[in-house]
Amino acid sequence: MTMQFTIQQKKLLSLHYIHPVPFHRFQVLIEENPALEKLETYSTEYWTRLLNLPKEKAVQFTERYKEIERLPLVELLEKVNCSPITIFHRNYPEELKQLYDPPAVIYCMGNEKLLRSRLRVGIIGSRQATYYSKKALDFIVPPLVDRNIPIVSGLAAGADTMAHQAAMDFGGETIGVLGHGFSHMYPKKNMKIAQEIAKNHLLITEYPPYFSPAKWTFPMRNRIISGLSNALVITESVERSGTMSTVEHALDHGKEIFAVPGAIDSPLSAGPNKLIDEGAKPLWSGFQILDSLL
């Protein structure tokens, strides 16, 4: 069944589909023109100023917008099982609206009801995570699953994949936040688990299906993992890594940080051990998270 969109929501979707940037980049436009009417009449110079585009890119943007407006974009996306939710839609997660730079649109594949879960826990860590992370998740995930708390992670190799798999293995639910559109998969070896999550759980991204992964899209994704999570768990990580960028977002968002303590001679425990030294809660059981959240 096609999701009902207002004219305003359709216009924002068209803009974002062409130029997928956070909502605040469109805010001046929306303050000037809340209904987003007659955007096809706006000049190239206007888009150059608003979106800080080179003139050539602004010309392309103007032409593409007119093309997209002639298409039934929502219906075309839903034909490939992709449900777009704009920030103006009632199904958009309230938690993401609290971010400084919330996604203007999120694209969903799977069970959107997970976006309405009262609590969610993010679990992240190194792409080189070891068996220690997997074993730690055996103690952390089951109590969360028993309370129907979905596990949020970034579907990266290593700890993220282990977190998603643990949630499914223990009979729980999971949300995978991607740093690219649904027509791509990074890493490619995670295609199978991504398909399983899309079928039985939920994949989300702020990027349209055609959008390729890039170095900068993954740090942007990290703020969504933090935004959707009531608490964040770090299993293994070196001191400086992408994992720590998610921790920084979580601290900015006022989320509780849990870290799995590890051996002092393990480089992959250096990150969690340092976080504990700086005030994160040492974690060895999912019941500790429940005590904090419930």
* Structural tokens at position 89: 């839609």
How far is it, in rounded angstroms, from Cα 148 to Cα 211? 32
Name the band, by pLDDT with cuts 50, 70 and 90, for residue 232. very high
Confidence (pLDDT) at 23:
96
User: Does 14 or 2 have the greater pLDDT score?
Assistant: 14
Query: pTM of the full predicted structure?
Result: 0.95
Sorted by sequence, the CB contacts under 8 Å of residue 37 that are 6+ apart come out as: 7, 11
Q: Give the tokens for residue 19.
A: 């130029």
Residue listed under structure tokens 């340092």: 274
Which of helix, strand or coil describes residue 256?
strand
- Torsion sign across C-alpha atoms 53, 57, 62, 68: negative
What's the rounded Cα separation, in Å, for the pair 271 and 244? Answer: 8
pLDDT digits (tens, 9 = 90+) for 40-76: 999 999 999 999 999 999 999 999 999 999 999 999 9
Domains of the chain: 7-105 (no CATH), 113-293 (3.40.50.450)
Secondary structure tally for the chain: helices H, strands E: 13, 9
If we measure between CA atoms, which residue out of 214, 227, 221 comes closest to residue 242? 221
- E strands within the chain? 83-86, 105-110, 121-124, 151-153, 174-177, 202-205, 231-234, 256-259, 281-282
Which residues make beta-bridge pairs with 203? 109, 176
Rg (C-alpha) for the chain, rounded Å, is 20
- Alpha-carbon distance 173 to 183, whole Å? 23
Check residue 68 and give its pLDDT. 94
Q: With pLDDT > 90 as the criterion, what percentage of the chain qualifies?
A: 96
Angle at the Cα of 222 from the Cα atoms of 207 and 238, rounded to 5 degrees:
140
- pLDDT tens-digit profile of 120-166? 999 999 999 999 999 999 999 999 999 999 999 999 999 999 999 99
Q: Rounded CA gap, 154 and 170, in Å?
A: 19
The two three-digit tokens of residue 210, written as one number: 């055609």
Q: Which residue, among 122, 135, 141, has the nearest Cα to 258 in the 3D structure? A: 122
pLDDT category at 2 given cuts 50, 70, 90 is low
